[in-house]
Structure 1
Amino acid sequence: MAQTFDFIIVGAGSAGCVLADRLTANGRHKVLLIEAGGTDRRFWIKIPVGYGFTFSDPAVNWRYSAAADPGLNGRAAYWPRGKVLGGSSSINAMAYVRGLPHDFDDWEAAGAAGWGWAAVRRSYEALESHDECHEGARRLRGAGPVRVTDLSARMHPFARNFLAAGHEMGWPVLPDMNASADAGANTLPSEGIGFVRSTVKDGRRWSSADAFLRPAMKRGNLTVVSGALVEKVLTAGGRATGVAYRVKGRQKQATAAREVILSAGAVNSPQLLQLSGIGPAGLLQRHGIKVAQDLPQVGQGLQDHLAVSHFFWANTATLNNRLGSFAGQMKAGLQYMLTRKGPLSVPVNQCSGFVRTKGAALPDVQVYCNPASYSTRPNGKPQIDRDNGFLLCVQPSRPTSRGQINIQSADPAQAPLIEPNSLSTDADKATAVRASRLLQALAAIPAITRVTRERRAPDIIGMDDSTLLENFRERSGSVFHASCTCRMGNDAADSVLDARLRVHGVAGLRVIDASAFPNVTSGNTNAPTMMLAARGADLVLEDNENRPLAAE
C-alpha cells in the first residue's frame, strides 16, 4: 500500500534540499524526498579542489553526453550532473554568483511575474551569510544558511596578475561581484573582475545538502529515500496524485495529498514529465506513452553557457608549482588534513567577472582566470601540468540559441537525447567573435605578457574574425549551466510553468529547479537555483495554507 505524504519532492539537489528544509520547517507537513544518488559523505566531494575527481565519477554523477552538435563542428559534449545528495551543488566548482539584475527583469518580461530583480534580491539576502576578510580579520555578515566565503587571502599569489590585467583593461576590480549587483540609474550592474566568492565553510564544500538538508533530516516529518529512481508521476483526473519509483530492484508508489514537486534538474525534470505523459503529444505517442497532458514546450528552450579557454606557460610560479608533482600533492594533502588550509582548500576557479565586449550596453560575457594549467585524461580524471601555466577563458553570458531535451524511449533508465543547438543564431556567433576579441586583448595586456613565457597552441593572438569563430566552434565547451527546459512563461504556448511554478494544465504538480528559468542567468547557476527554490517554497506554502494535512 502506498504511503501518503503532503508533499513529494523528486531530487535532492540544489533546489530539492532547499524545499525539503522549507516545507518541513513548521512541523505540520509530511514530506517525502526521493534521490537517485547516494551519500555525499565522500572525501572528494568535501575537499574544495576535489571536483576535478567527481567530474566523471559514476558513483555521484549521471555522466550525460549531448548529441553531436552542428554548431560545435559535430562534437558531442560531456554533461556531468550530480547524482548524489546535494545534486550538482555537491560536484560543482562552488562559485557563488547571483547573476545580473537585468537577468531577472528579463524573467519577469518573459511572463514570470514577481521574479524581477527587486524581488529576488531580497530572497538572496535572506539566504546568504558572508564570511568576509575585513582589515585582516574575519567577520560574518548575514544570517542565512548558505555560507558564501571570501577566500581571497588563500588565493594563489599569481592570481593577482589577473586583477592587474583587469585594471589595465579598464575593468573595475570588485571586492565582491555579488554585493555590487545594483541597477542604479548611472551604473552598470556588477561590471568588473575580482576573486570568486565560494560556497566553502571552514575549508570544506558547503553544498545545498549541508545548508538545508542536514537540518531538515533532524525533523520527524521528513522521509528521505536515496538510491531510488522515480519512473513516473502518477496522475488522475488532471491532477498529480503521487509517484512510482524503484529502489533496490523493488517498485514502490507514494501518494501526495497536496503536491508533487519535481526538482530533478534541467535534464531529468523534463525527462520525467515526458515519461509521465506530460509533454509533446507526438513525442509521447511515438514511444507508446499515454498522453495525460499535451504540453508542447516540455523539454524545449534548453539553454547553457559555452566558454572557450586558452592556456599559457608562465615564467613564474603558479599553482602547478604546488600541485604538479606527486611530492607537492602529498605536501598539500598533509597541510589540508592538518589545517584545512593550503591549495586544496580553494577551488581552482579563482578570478572571474562580468564585462562588456565592444559595443555592448551591458556586461555580456563572463571572464574566468585560473592560476593553473591542466588537461583531462581519457578516464575523465584531471591531470595538472608539471610546468607552470595558467588559463584565460571567456563565456558569452546570455545566449539566444535554444536546444531541447527529449526522451528516446519509455524506459526511465535510458538517458534522454540532449540537443544543445549551440551557436544557432547570428547573435550568438557575433558574441562569440566579440568575446574572443576580448580574450585576445586580455592575453596581450602588459600584466599578462609580463608573466607569459609562451602562448600555447592554438595561439589566439593574430586570429581574424573567421578564425576566431572557427576556434570557438572547435574548442568551446559547456560550463554545465543547463537550464530553461521547463521554463516559466505566460501560457502553455510559450512555456511549461506559470509564474508560481505550476505545470500548465496539471493540478498539484510543480517544477522547481533550474529548468524553470525563463532564460539562463548571466553566470554560474547554483545560486539562482537555490534562490528560486526558496521563493518556490514560499509559493507552495502560500497556496496550501488552508488545505487539510495528509494525516487529517
Structure 2
Amino acid sequence: MSILNFDYIVVGAGSAGCVLAARLSEDPSVQVALIEAGPPDTSALIHCPAGIALMARTEIVSQGFNTVPQPGLLGRTGYQPRGRTLGGSSSTNAMAYIRGQQVDYDTWADRGCSGWAWADVLPYFLKAEHNERIHNEWHGQNGPLNVADLQSPNAFAQRFVEAGVQAGLAHTTDFNGPTQEGVGLYQVTQRAGERFSAAKAYLTPNRSRANLHVMTGVTVDRIGLVDGVARQVHTLQGGQSQTLTARREIILSAGAFQSPALLMRSGIGPAAHLQSLGIEVLHHLPGVGENLHDHPDAVLVADAPGQNDLIGVSPRGAWRTLQALWAWRQHRTGGLTTNFAEGGAFYKSRPDEAHPDIQLHFVVAKLVDHGRQLTLGHGYSLHVCLLQPDSRGRVQLTDRNPHSAPLIDPQFLSEPRDVQRLRDGIRQAQRILAQPALAAYGREWAASANARTDEQLEHWIRKNADTVYHPVGTCRMGQDAMAVVDAQLRVHGVPGLRVVDASVMPRIVSGNTNAPTIMIAEKAADWIRASRP
C-alpha cells in the first residue's frame, strides 16, 4: 500500500469533476488529484457524435445499471446507463445544451438553498459557455464549453419543427433565452464536428499542468475520516490498494448513483441500512440515497418507408452511412455529426400548468429499448418526457463491495399526477406527429396510436416508459434533517467533504442535466477556493 498526498482529491471525472479539477488546478500552489474508475476518453465512439448509437450496445465507455423492478412500470426493470470514462456522461449523452427554467433555481433558493436563485446561477452558466451563434446577455462567449448549432441538421428534424408550428407551438431558435417554451432545433455541445464533452472543454487543455494528476481505471472503495475530518480516499486498482490523503478537501463528483453509494460505503448515511450490511456507522445522515428522481420518458415511434434521409437499417441506409463515415473521417462533416435527438420542444401538458412541464426530443431514427434493439427500415422517434415528476425513490447499497452495482429504485410513476401529465403530454405529441409536415412521410406505430382512452394510454405508458437519463437528488442540498449537503455543498457533519454533481439538486431542473451540472461545479469551485485557509 502506498500513500499519496494532495490538497484536493476529486472523485469522479464526469461533468462536475472535470470542471473542478481544471478550476482548482489553476492555482499552481495546490496539488489536485482527479480519480476516474473508467478508461481515458480515447474511443472514437465518444468523439464522433453519431457514435452514441453504438454506446448502449457496447458499454465500452459506459456502465449499464438496472433499476429494481418498478411497480409503476408494470414490474419491469429499467435501464440506467451512465458514462464511465473521462467526461462521464458528457462523453456519452446526446449533447443537447439546456439549462432549465429560471423558476427551477428560484425554487431551490425558496427551499432554503441560499445562493442558488436564477440571478445567482446565470453568471456561472455564462462563465462556462462559449456559444458560437448567439451573442446576447443570455449567453457566454468566452467559456471553455463550446455550444454550437447542429452542423448538418437532418431534413426530418426541420419537418418536425414545421409540424410543431402547425400544431400551434411557437418556433424558437434558443431554448435558453428569455423563455423556454416552443419548438426548434437543439444547440449541442460540439465543436468542428466533434463532441465537446466536459473533459474536452476543461480537462484536455490543462493536462500538462504539473499540479493536476489524472488517474483512470481507479475504483474508490471508501472515504476515511481522521479525527472526524474527511482526509483519506481508499482506492483499488489492478488488485492493489492505495490510500490518497487530502490536506484540504475531498470532493465527490461520482454522480447520482455512485456519490451516495460511496458515502454509504464510508459509513456516512442512514444508520439502519448501513448496519444491515455490517458497515460501521461513522455519521448517521438519513437523507443519503433518498430523494432520487428522474425524468420519466415514453417514446413514440413511426415508420417512414423509403425515407433515406433518416438513419436506418437498409441497403441504401448502409451506403449513406459509409459515405457519412468517410466525410467525418476526412473533414469532420456530414451525417455522423448528428446527435440523433436533433429537434425538441417544451410545452404545458395542460393550459393551467404554470410552466412548461413536457419536453420532446425528436430522434431521426427508430429508437427501441434505448437503442439496444435493432429495427429494420427507416423511421423516426419522439421522446416525451415529464419535466417535474412528483415520484421519489432511493439508492441503496447491495453490499460493501465497491464493484457491486447499487440498488436503484426511482419509483417511476408512483404518483398518479405524473401519469396524468405524461398522458396529456403524449396526446399533444401525437398531434404534432399527425401534422402534414410529418404525416405525409411516416405513420406512428399502432401500439401507441391505437391507445385512445385514458386507461389504454396509461397502460401503454406503464408498459413502455423509462428514464431519459437524468437522475438527480440523492445527496440533496438543504438545511433540514434529510438534507445531505448545505448550500455550499459541504456534507453535513463531516468537515473536509463536499458533494458536487447532479445528486445535490433538491428538485430536478426542467431539461437536460449536463449544463446545470457544469454550472454547479463552476459555482462550487469558487466556494472551495474562497474557503482556503
Question: Normalising by the residue count of structure 1, what TM-score does the alignment of the two structures yield?
Answer: 0.92
Stretch deviating more after TM superposition (94-103 or 501-510): 94-103
Deviations 1:247-306, CA, capped at 9 Å, x for gaps: 121100011111110000111000000000000000111111111100000000001111
The code of the aligned residue for 2:168 comes to G
Within 5 Å, which residues of 2 pair with 1:358-437? Answer: 358=350, 359-375=352-368, 381=372, 383=374, 385-386=376-377, 388-437=378-427
Is residue 528 of structure 1 aligned with residue 530 of structure 2?
no
Which of 322, 338, 357 is the equivalent residue of 2:349?
357
Task: Give 1:391 shift.
Answer: 1.6
Stretch deviating more after TM superposition (70-79 or 155-164): 155-164
Query: SS of the counterpart of 2:10?
Result: strand
Query: Cα–Cα, structure 1 residues 82 and 2, in superposed 2: closer, same or farther, change >3 Å?
Result: same
Stretch deviating more after TM superposition (355-364 or 201-210): 355-364
Which of 227, 234, 250 is the equivalent residue of 2:224?
234
Which of 448, 456, 477 is the equivalent residue of 1:467?
456
Q: State whether residues 55 and 91 of structure 1, in contact with CA within 8 Å, keep that contact through their aligned partners in structure 2.
A: no
Query: Cα–Cα, structure 1 residues 321 and 298, in superposed 2: closer, same or farther, change >3 Å?
Result: closer
Is residue 542 of structure 1 aligned with residue 533 of structure 2?
no
Task: Give 1:318 shift.
Answer: 4.9
The code of the aligned residue for 2:463 comes to E
Query: SS of the counterpart of 2:459?
Result: helix
Task: Give 1:200 shift.
Answer: 0.7
Within 5 Å, which residues of 2 pair with 1:25-64? Answer: 25-64=26-65
Query: SS of the counterpart of 2:143?
Result: coil
The code of the aligned residue for 1:540 comes to I
Query: Cα–Cα, structure 1 residues 272 and 462, in superposed 2: closer, same or farther, change >3 Å?
Result: closer
Task: Give 1:31 shift.
Answer: 0.8
Stretch deviating more after TM superposition (459-468 or 362-371): 459-468
Q: State whether residues 374 and 385 of structure 1, in contact with CA within 8 Å, keep that contact through their aligned partners in structure 2.
A: no
- In 2, Cα distance between the equivalents of 1:522 and 1:502? 25
Query: SS of the counterpart of 1:76?
Result: strand
Query: SS of the counterpart of 1:523?
Result: coil
The code of the aligned residue for 2:111 comes to A
Within 5 Å, which residues of 2 pair with 1:55-454? Answer: 55-132=56-133, 142-151=141-150, 154-178=152-176, 180=177, 182=178, 189-314=179-304, 317-320=307-310, 324=314, 325-358=317-350, 359-375=352-368, 381=372, 383=374, 385-386=376-377, 388-452=378-442, 454=443
Query: SS of the counterpart of 2:374?
Result: strand
Instruction: State the number of aligned residues.
Output: 526
Query: Cα–Cα, structure 1 residues 434 and 504, in superposed 2: closer, same or farther, change >3 Å?
Result: same
Query: SS of the counterpart of 2:399?
Result: coil
Query: SS of the counterpart of 2:82?
Result: coil
The code of the aligned residue for 2:437 comes to A
Query: SS of the counterpart of 2:341?
Result: coil
Query: Cα–Cα, structure 1 residues 133 and 334, in superposed 2: closer, same or farther, change >3 Å?
Result: farther
Task: Give 1:322 shift.
Answer: 7.2
- In 2, Cα distance between the equivalents of 1:319 and 1:373? 13
Query: SS of the counterpart of 2:62?
Result: coil
Query: Cα–Cα, structure 1 residues 133 and 506, in superposed 2: closer, same or farther, change >3 Å?
Result: closer
Query: SS of the counterpart of 1:67?
Result: strand
Is residue 14 of structure 1 aligned with residue 31 of structure 2?
no
Give me the CA root mean square deviation: 1.8
- In 2, Cα distance between the equivalents of 1:321 and 1:260? 45
Deviations 1:504-537, CA, capped at 9 Å, x for gaps: 0000000000101111111111110101011011
- In 1, Cα distance between the equivalents of 2:418 and 2:17? 32
Seq. identity, %: 38
Deviations 1:490-515, CA, capped at 9 Å, x for gaps: 23x13101000000000000000010
The code of the aligned residue for 2:95 comes to M
Query: SS of the counterpart of 1:63?
Result: strand
Query: Cα–Cα, structure 1 residues 459 and 69, in superposed 2: closer, same or farther, change >3 Å?
Result: closer
Query: SS of the counterpart of 1:383?
Result: coil
Query: Cα–Cα, structure 1 residues 112 and 321, in superposed 2: closer, same or farther, change >3 Å?
Result: closer
Partner of 1:186: none
Query: Cα–Cα, structure 1 residues 416 and 321, in superposed 2: closer, same or farther, change >3 Å?
Result: closer
Task: Give 1:383 shift.
Answer: 3.3
Which of 470, 476, 481 is the equivalent residue of 1:481?
470
Is residue 501 of structure 1 aligned with residue 489 of structure 2?
yes
Deviations 1:200-253, CA, capped at 9 Å, x for gaps: 111111111110111232111111111010000001222101110011211000
Query: SS of the counterpart of 2:69?
Result: coil
Task: Give 1:461 shift.
Answer: 5.2
- In 1, Cα distance between the equivalents of 2:521 and 2:308? 38
Query: SS of the counterpart of 2:449?
Result: coil
Partner of 1:185: none
Query: Cα–Cα, structure 1 residues 459 and 4, in superposed 2: closer, same or farther, change >3 Å?
Result: closer
Stretch deviating more after TM superposition (424-433 or 39-48): 424-433
Task: Give 1:326 shift.
Answer: 2.5
| Structure 1 residue ranges without an equivalent (≥5) | 135-139, 183-188, 548-552
Query: Cα–Cα, structure 1 residues 133 and 190, in superposed 2: closer, same or farther, change >3 Å?
Result: closer
The code of the aligned residue for 1:363 comes to P
Q: State whether residues 14 and 198 of structure 2, in contact with CA within 8 Å, keep that contact through their aligned partners in structure 1.
A: yes
Deviations 1:9-38, CA, capped at 9 Å, x for gaps: 000111000000000002121111111011
Task: Give 1:462 shift.
Answer: 5.4
Task: Give 1:400 shift.
Answer: 1.1
- In 1, Cα distance between the equivalents of 2:200 and 2:104? 28
Task: Give 1:121 shift.
Answer: 1.2
Task: Give 1:455 shift.
Answer: 2.5
Q: State whether residues 11 and 253 of structure 2, in contact with CA within 8 Å, keep that contact through their aligned partners in structure 1.
A: yes
Q: State whether residues 53 and 382 of structure 1, in contact with CA within 8 Å, keep that contact through their aligned partners in structure 2.
A: no
- In 2, Cα distance between the equivalents of 1:311 and 1:429? 20
Q: State whether residues 384 and 429 of structure 2, in contact with CA within 8 Å, keep that contact through their aligned partners in structure 1.
A: yes
Query: Cα–Cα, structure 1 residues 382 and 39, in superposed 2: closer, same or farther, change >3 Å?
Result: farther
Q: State whether residues 397 and 406 of structure 2, in contact with CA within 8 Å, keep that contact through their aligned partners in structure 1.
A: yes
Q: State whether residues 346 and 356 of structure 2, in contact with CA within 8 Å, keep that contact through their aligned partners in structure 1.
A: yes
Q: State whether residues 56 and 80 of structure 1, in contact with CA within 8 Å, keep that contact through their aligned partners in structure 2.
A: no
Deviations 1:43-87, CA, capped at 9 Å, x for gaps: 111100101212243431121111100011111011111111111
Query: Cα–Cα, structure 1 residues 381 and 156, in superposed 2: closer, same or farther, change >3 Å?
Result: same
